[in-house]
Amino acid sequence: MIHEPINVHQMSPRWLNILWLSLLLVAFGSVEGIGDDGSLTCGDWQSEYSRLHASIVSGQAPARYVVSVAVEAGFADNVVGIITEFFYALLTNRAFQITSHHPLPDFSAAFDSPNINWTRHVIDPESVVMPVRHTHKGERKHGPEVDPKKYAGVYMVNNNDINEVFSTHNLRSWPEGGDAENVFLCSNRGRVVKLFENPHHSQELYSMGLRPDTIFACGYKYLFEPNETVKKLFRPYMADIQSSTSALKIGVNIRAGDGVFQGSVVSESFGDAYIDCALQIEASRKKTNQSVIWCASRMTAHFSTQRLHL
């Protein structure tokens, strides 16, 4: 079964964000096809971390926070950065929180928090937050008025050097000794797979029950649950997909780059690599006589979708 590709070329950024939510709900709201037996296995770290998070937030344990600062970009950039920052918090025994700022909506506008309260209720000084915002044009380092024992910040947007940090460094000593009460991070890149190359943390993650191919989905499901407003909006479109509990479900988002929103044109064959990838997933995951559902979206109408109807 193929759900007709959605053309998002004329959608506003707000509706694009909601569309990404629907695609993630397709991919991770149900667990078929992720694990070898059709289930998502995430290990047993969740309860212990939830207790740690609660003890820090309540003041029963010393203040140690990772604060994810929303990046002025699309939902996809934000969510891959957030999941990376969350696993940094997990590995360094810190409570994880998310903070947003105008004009970006708060994540609670679309998500419930099923396990921990990740909303940042503290109003942090501008001198702390501004250097790690994407639109900030000044010095990225905190000024002398910021206490380094209380605050640290790392701007990771489009910073390839951070890949080496996540693949080689002991994150408990990063940044700058790793002893600041509040570490503010801003990222638009996913680096969780790099953690499995890290000699300080890879075995720890495997011992928790995480794997390179499941860690992102596990982090997403632990942190986020689309709220009732989002579910209600997409329920008419998701009914067939969610009712087919035995089907293999494959989400295909054909990303053509931000230039398409300014009129750039891509070739008609641009989406072929995405389709080939999905066909490989289908070939490796499909069980005998199992039905398959593809849910596809595209960012431009300028390439053919004929192959989606093979």
Q: CA-CA distance, 23 to 224, in Å (whole number)? A: 14
Q: List, in sequence order, every residue forming a beta bridge with 68; answer none if it has no partner.
A: 98, 185
Tokens of 160: 């390839």
pLDDT for position 26: 43
pLDDT for position 3: 46
Q: Where are the domains of the chain?
A: 2-30+245-309, 46-225
Q: CA-CA distance, 166 to 199, in Å (whole number)? A: 10
pLDDT for position 302: 55
Q: Are 41 and 221 in contact (CB under 8 A)?
A: no
Tokens of 28: 């991770």
The full DSSP string for 202-234 is HHHHHHHT--TTTHHHHHHHHH-EE-HHHHHHH
Q: What is the pLDDT along the chain (310 residues), one digit of tens a residue?
A: 444 444 434 444 444 444 444 444 444 443 333 554 456 889 999 999 999 999 999 999 999 999 999 998 878 889 999 999 999 999 999 999 999 887 888 888 889 999 999 999 888 998 988 888 877 877 788 888 999 999 999 999 999 999 999 999 999 999 987 799 999 999 999 999 999 999 999 999 999 999 998 999 999 999 999 889 888 888 887 777 778 888 888 888 787 777 776 777 777 787 888 889 889 999 998 999 999 988 877 665 555 555 555 4
